[in-house]
Amino acid sequence: MSLPEKAFPVSWDQFHRDTRALSWRLSGLNQEFKAIVCITRGGLVPAAIISRELNIRLIDTVCIATRHDYVNQGDTVLLKGISPELMENGGEGILVVDDLTDTGKTALEVREMLPKAHFACVYAKPSGVPTIDTFVTEVSQDTWIYFPWDMGFTYQEPIAKGSKG
């Protein structure tokens, strides 16, 4: 397994600020969302923040596992579907939330279930951008985002190795 060249570590504070920025964008859409469907696991934390900021009390999950390594994204497996009542009318009035769209494969799978839903991610890579409606920050396709729930506190090498500090 090879690690990506570009790393983008995100702290809890930064993730919270970025998710609140996403909430601001969503509130500016002048659209009333009746529920959130978060894509687990990455969508759990932003869904909690967005539900507070937009006062959306009804939250469901769609559980999709993706087999991947740090370079390639593999096949997806649906572990838990969406409540039937939220799928009525093609998901109209539903906000689908995830932390990141990478290739867009997961978003496309959920969009088949909820074609009229609004899709929002905190971060997006170029291949995934066409599959979602709203996001905050775009990073290059070859960047690996290290989310705060995946990290511990450790020393980080400088970007320019061998620099005199």
Would you call 139 helix, strand, or coil by DSSP?
coil
| Residue 142 annotated as catalytic | no
| Residue tagged active-site, from 75, 102, 133, 150 | 102
| Residue 150 annotated as catalytic | no
| Residue tagged active-site, from 18, 75, 99, 150 | 99
Q: Is 40 annotated as a binding residue?
A: no
Q: Is 42 annotated as a binding residue?
A: yes
Q: Is 75 annotated as a binding residue?
A: no
Q: Is 149 annotated as a binding residue?
A: no
C-alpha 7: how far from its chain's center?
A: 17
Q: CA-CA distances (angstroms) from residue 12 to 3, 72, 159?
A: 22, 26, 21
Task: Give me 98's structure tokens.
Answer: 């995830």
Q: Is 106 annotated as a binding residue?
A: yes
Which amino acid type is present at position 139? V
Q: Is 142 annotated as a binding residue?
A: no
The half-sphere exposure of 96 on its side-chain side, counting CA atoms within 13 A, is 29
Q: CA-CA distances (angstroms) from residue 55 to 22, 27, 48, 50, 59?
A: 14, 10, 10, 8, 11
**Pairing between β-strand 73-80 and β-strand 59-68 as defined by DSSP bridges:** antiparallel
**Pairing between β-strand 94-101 and β-strand 118-124 as defined by DSSP bridges:** parallel
Q: Is 98 annotated as a binding residue?
A: yes
| Residue tagged active-site, from 69, 98, 133, 142 | 98
| Residue 133 annotated as catalytic | no
Do you know the residue count of the chain?
Answer: 165
Q: Which residues are annotated as a binding site for guanine?
A: 102, 145
List residues forming the annotated binding site for xanthine: 102, 145
Annotated binding site for GMP: 102-106, 144-145
Known binding-site positions:
41-42, 98-106, 144-145
Give me the active site residues, please: 98-99, 102
Feature table: binding site for Mg(2+)? 99
